[in-house]
Structure 1
Amino acid sequence: MTEPIIDPTFYRSAADAAAAPPEELAYVVAFDRAAEKHDAMTVVDVNPRSDRYGQLVGWTDLPGVGHELHHFGWNACSSALAHEGHDQHDLSRRYLLVPGLRSSDIHVLDTQPDPRSPRVVRTISGKDLSDKAGYSRPHTMHCGPDGVFLTCLGGPEDDADGPGGIALLDHSTFDVVRAWETDRGPQHFAYDAWWHLNRNVLISSEWGSPSMIEDGVVPELLLGGKYGHALHFWDLAEGRHRQRVDLGPQHQMVLEVRPSHDPEATWGFVGVVISTEDLSGSIWGWFHDGDEWKVEKVVTVPAEPADPDRLPPALKPFGAVPPLITDIDLSVDDRFLYVSCWGTGEMKQFDVTDPAQPRETGSVRLGGIVDRAPHPARPDLPLAGGPQMVEVSRDGRGVYFTNSLYGAWDDQFYPDGVGAWMAKLDAGPGGGVAVDEDFFPHGDDFRGLRPHQIRLQGGDASSDSYCYR
């Protein structure tokens, strides 16, 4: 019997991932807010030794228009090594599964044989997703040992407002298999999901149903505490809901979940966009205590006073700019947490060696609703948008981010235009960050599209689950 070929980018441990050869390419989705041009998968050179460093070196138009490409991921990753002797069926980290948040179509891109020229090889229709799993508006995906878990904001096509949940896809054929949940308990809103693989626990978060987000933030719903404000803990193997932890209705929009990369750990972080009490953003940590899960606030980022004349209409009555924590990322070694403050234009770095007491160790500002802080490469160019989707390299030294959040929300908070740009920070081994002055794709580089999520060649800090220490 022929032994299965194990992809060299499947890493048994976080330490193996960090020690592997560094990425040379970044895959970045970009979308046309006007839905007139094709959305695209772009490829950026991230090899500092390359003469095309920081430039777009590949571009793949996706069929159709109006998808609003958002989050995407690999068909398979290190989680394929979850069980000793597991038959990988010659799986490899080869295909990118790229959902359209508005169209609900899922495009499959083959990154071989030329990683700079990914090819669309299949499209799974929104109807197929709805018919087989009962969901729409696919948002975030994580490759697991038994398939791809795809969180979806909406219910079926004829009842899009829910409940949202998780669709399971086959990571070899890409077929939609079914809804993952067997008992959802009180869960209704969906957003992100990830797990403690060796502990048989999945953690999911909440944003809002499609009608609550697709035209921007609805002030009445926000101030009424109607957006998601809870975390859910599930039996991973059975798809059964086990516990709901409510953070309080003032803590609106509980988004990115980032569990420890240590397979034996039972802690992680989640970001909360805004508090209706004081416009602050926050980071919460979860941990296992006896027979239950607990969640506690560990970081508060306050709003900043601002001249109302410099604020968009939605914020003028408050005279302040909220941080709007819209993404977080945890380095592969579980040492540093990065926090995107899209409203103020700040990217924060925290040392989380003690997860219960994060310690701020670095900060940079680019863009921001009020500051419009420029990139060092173009000090003459005020930037709109702010640090949003953040991705950390496996070795922890490169921190990449883009500036667009979501089309309708871009327009609401940056009504004069959000622009298009991508930046990179250099992170020191002991903490501290600095903007890489040689890395700044922006403007016409993206051909009028807005860049969003980033995936790195060979895996990154938010792609893989490691199974061994």
Structure 2
Amino acid sequence: MAAAVGNGHACCKKGPGYATPLEAMSGPREALLYVTCVYTGTGIEKPDYLATVDVDPSSPNYSKVIHRLHVPYLGDELHHSGWNSCSSCHGDPSAERRFLVLPSLVSGRIYAIDTKTDPRAPSLHKVVEPSDIAEKTGLAFPHTSHCLASGELLISCLGDKEGNAKGAGFLLLDSDFSVKGRWERPGNSPSFGYDFWYQPRHKTMISSSWGAPAAFTKGFNLEHVSNGLYGRHLYVYSWPGGELKQTLDLGSTGLLPLEIRFLHDPSKATGFVGCALTSNMVRFFKNDEDSWSHEVAISVKPLKVQNWILPEMPGLITDFLLSLDDRFLYLSNWLHGDVRQYNIEDPKNPVLVGQVWVGGQIQKGSKVLAEGEDGQTWQFDVPVVKGNRLRGGPQMIQLSLDGKRLYVTNSLFSTWDNQFYPELLEKGSHMLQIDVDTEKGGLAINPNFFVDFATGPDGPSLAHEMRYPGGDCTSDIWI
């Protein structure tokens, strides 16, 4: 039987996070960022680490790494992260946003990191071993972690320990990080795993699908797509029951659906998923008869190119997020190299209002050329920041609570980094900050902010997901 999940209800008592998304926008400005940093797959035989970055403009250490917490083991590939408690627990005064949860995508370990004792220098609290997870659930390759209003933790897993996607499912941990079991009911596991988001008022959780770990861990091979080793579906579950109610086939326009977000307003029954390979933002929405549908809301057109592995290059949408007031959607095109801002006040008709190039395959100085319909070739002009040429392409993004600052890192996954941007393994990642116009729309690189992950004591590292100690746009869910 699937383990039961408490739903919880917010009330006048104060727990972690904020009562509403709009209240969160008035929260304090971020002063620290926690960033997962990877040595796995780079050739440097050192454990991955969690970096603490000073993002306080009044600090003498502004835009610098001030602490590195190295995990105990080699070969983890720290990737995404989540909190033990968030705004879904706001009605529980006994709950505390204290532990940052770090699933290791390759090894399968899950680390609980204490950020409360010293926020500037987090410490290791507990390790959940992959053998314990596999023995009790059969799951491996953990990815996305969300806290639940019950105090439990739900983590999506992408396959079994052999890397078969058919082993995908959802791991449930208790508040002490002990394995409880699978969340979904027996026989209700998804065909592929990746990201998920739940919306309790609509009694729904929806998950997305990357691919079989046995395929994507070896690098991207287009033949694996045609061989059925990558996903194109969304899986609609009852919440909190764990019954698979509907499978949405996104078809040829929805290949590799990755990050998924409902609107922050918990009363709204709609959201978006970024489909990487076809570079479409797909909107999903609830129908009157309690079923769900989908439609393409944003399309990033592929570019005709020269001197690349294919004659056309997709944008490759690898991350996106929504502002807390649900006014703006931001996405990153890892291959093209641009970050975009869309006004989504009408979710059916997003409007592009901001765009900035911060790297990519087609930046000036690259061997890759874009070709127009007239046969003329061109490249994107990418600025130098604090004397640094921008490398790689924009990947993970995180938005300040007030929506005015967007942080960007550039590592996707070590194997894919090595395939598409080998320079990242030689020189490491970097982090940028983009100033956001929240009135009319518009994006501009902050010329005074540049975090260089080339300069660590153990050599260059790959920086991925970012979290604020006080919560952020992509980890907090309201009930």
Determine helix, strand or coil for the equivalent of 2:166.
coil
Match of 1:288 in 2: 286
Residue number among 106, 111, 115 corresponding to 1:111 in the alignment:
115
How far did residue 48 of structure 1 move? 1.9
Residue deviations 1:329-366 (CA, integer Å, cap 9, x gap): 11111111111100011101101000000000101111
Determine helix, strand or coil for the equivalent of 1:198.
helix
Match of 1:202 in 2: 205
Residue number among 145, 148, 153 corresponding to 2:153 in the alignment:
148
- Contact kept, 8 Å, 1:136 with 1:160, in 2: the verdict is no
Classify 1:120/1:332 alpha carbon distance in 2 versus 1 (closer, same or farther; 3 Å): same
Match of 1:453 in 2: 465
When the two structures are aligned, how many residues end up with a matched partner? Answer: 444
Using the TM superposition, name which of 218-227 and 389-398 deviates more. Answer: 218-227
In the TM superposition, what are the counterparts of 1:7-406 in structure 2 within 5 Å?
9-32=16-39, 33-34=42-43, 36-81=45-90, 87-88=92-93, 90-146=94-150, 147-155=152-160, 157=161, 160-170=164-174, 172-185=175-188, 187-224=190-227, 226-249=229-252, 251-275=254-278, 281-291=279-289, 292-308=291-307, 311=308, 315=309, 318-371=310-363, 374-378=382-386, 381-406=388-413
How far did residue 397 of structure 1 move? 0.9
What is the CA–CA distance in structure 2 between the aligned matches of 1:333 and 1:194, rounded to whole Å?
A: 17
Unaligned runs of 5+ in 1: 276-280
- Contact kept, 8 Å, 2:336 with 2:361, in 1: the verdict is yes
How far did residue 433 of structure 1 move? 1.1
Unaligned runs of 5+ in 2: 1-10, 367-380
How far did residue 184 of structure 1 move? 4.8
- Contact kept, 8 Å, 1:376 with 1:435, in 2: the verdict is no
Determine helix, strand or coil for the equivalent of 1:187.
coil
Match of 2:415 in 1: 408
Q: Return the TM-score normalized by structure 2.
A: 0.89
Classify 1:87/1:399 alpha carbon distance in 2 versus 1 (closer, same or farther; 3 Å): closer
Q: Which amino acid aligns with 1:420?
A: S
What is the CA–CA distance in structure 1 between the aligned matches of 2:187 and 2:299, rounded to whole Å?
A: 31
Q: Which amino acid aligns with 2:241?
A: E
What is the CA–CA distance in structure 2 between the aligned matches of 1:183 and 1:201, rounded to whole Å?
A: 18
What is the CA–CA distance in structure 1 between the aligned matches of 2:15 and 2:421, rounded to whole Å?
A: 43
Classify 1:159/1:258 alpha carbon distance in 2 versus 1 (closer, same or farther; 3 Å): closer
What is the CA–CA distance in structure 2 between the aligned matches of 1:108 and 1:34, rounded to whole Å?
A: 26
What is the CA–CA distance in structure 2 between the aligned matches of 1:305 and 1:287, rounded to whole Å?
A: 33
How far did residue 192 of structure 1 move? 0.5
What is the CA–CA distance in structure 1 between the aligned matches of 2:254 and 2:268, rounded to whole Å?
A: 26
- Contact kept, 8 Å, 2:212 with 2:229, in 1: the verdict is no
Classify 1:120/1:142 alpha carbon distance in 2 versus 1 (closer, same or farther; 3 Å): same
Instruction: Kindly report the root-mean-square deviation, in angstroms, between the aligned alpha carbons of the 2 structures.
Output: 2.0
Residue deviations 1:24-55 (CA, integer Å, cap 9, x gap): 10000101022501200000111122222111
What is the CA–CA distance in structure 2 between the aligned matches of 1:14 and 1:263, rounded to whole Å?
A: 9
Classify 1:143/1:375 alpha carbon distance in 2 versus 1 (closer, same or farther; 3 Å): farther
Residue number among 440, 443, 451 corresponding to 2:450 in the alignment:
440
- Contact kept, 8 Å, 2:163 with 2:213, in 1: the verdict is no
Determine helix, strand or coil for the equivalent of 2:416.
helix
How far did residue 188 of structure 1 move? 1.2
Determine helix, strand or coil for the equivalent of 1:387.
coil
What is the CA–CA distance in structure 2 between the aligned matches of 1:9 and 1:394, rounded to whole Å?
A: 15
What is the CA–CA distance in structure 1 between the aligned matches of 2:454 and 2:55, rounded to whole Å?
A: 19
What is the CA–CA distance in structure 2 between the aligned matches of 1:116 and 1:246, rounded to whole Å?
A: 44
Determine helix, strand or coil for the equivalent of 2:418.
helix
What is the CA–CA distance in structure 2 between the aligned matches of 1:266 and 1:97, rounded to whole Å?
A: 28
Classify 1:385/1:461 alpha carbon distance in 2 versus 1 (closer, same or farther; 3 Å): same
Q: Which amino acid aligns with 2:298?
A: V
What is the CA–CA distance in structure 2 between the aligned matches of 1:133 and 1:49, rounded to whole Å?
A: 48
Give identity over the alignment, percent.
35
What is the CA–CA distance in structure 1 between the aligned matches of 2:333 and 2:357, rounded to whole Å?
A: 9
Determine helix, strand or coil for the equivalent of 2:341.
strand
Classify 1:54/1:178 alpha carbon distance in 2 versus 1 (closer, same or farther; 3 Å): same
- Contact kept, 8 Å, 2:162 with 2:214, in 1: the verdict is no
How far did residue 378 of structure 1 move? 3.8
Using the TM superposition, name which of 416-425 and 101-110 deviates more. Answer: 416-425
Residue deviations 1:53-96 (CA, integer Å, cap 9, x gap): 11111111110111010001111111113xxxx655x2211111
Residue deviations 1:385-434 (CA, integer Å, cap 9, x gap): 11101111111111111000001111111234453111111111211111
- Contact kept, 8 Å, 2:231 with 2:256, in 1: the verdict is yes
What is the CA–CA distance in structure 2 between the aligned matches of 1:355 and 1:153, rounded to whole Å?
A: 29
What is the CA–CA distance in structure 1 between the aligned matches of 2:272 and 2:470, rounded to whole Å?
A: 24
How far did residue 214 of structure 1 move? 0.5
What is the CA–CA distance in structure 2 between the aligned matches of 1:136 and 1:196, rounded to whole Å?
A: 25
What is the CA–CA distance in structure 1 between the aligned matches of 2:45 and 2:355, rounded to whole Å?
A: 37
Match of 1:278 in 2: none
Classify 1:159/1:445 alpha carbon distance in 2 versus 1 (closer, same or farther; 3 Å): closer
What is the CA–CA distance in structure 1 between the aligned matches of 2:261 and 2:199, rounded to whole Å?
A: 10
What is the CA–CA distance in structure 2 between the aligned matches of 1:69 and 1:376, rounded to whole Å?
A: 29
Classify 1:118/1:417 alpha carbon distance in 2 versus 1 (closer, same or farther; 3 Å): closer
Determine helix, strand or coil for the equivalent of 2:131.
helix
- Contact kept, 8 Å, 2:37 with 2:463, in 1: the verdict is yes
How far did residue 159 of structure 1 move? 6.6
Match of 2:376 in 1: none
What is the CA–CA distance in structure 1 between the aligned matches of 2:98 and 2:455, rounded to whole Å?
A: 26
- Contact kept, 8 Å, 2:165 with 2:191, in 1: the verdict is no
Classify 1:340/1:268 alpha carbon distance in 2 versus 1 (closer, same or farther; 3 Å): same
Q: Which amino acid aligns with 1:271?
A: G
Determine helix, strand or coil for the equivalent of 2:454.
helix
- Contact kept, 8 Å, 1:225 with 1:252, in 2: the verdict is no
- Contact kept, 8 Å, 1:255 with 1:273, in 2: the verdict is yes
- Contact kept, 8 Å, 2:76 with 2:107, in 1: the verdict is yes
Q: Which amino acid aligns with 1:247?
A: L
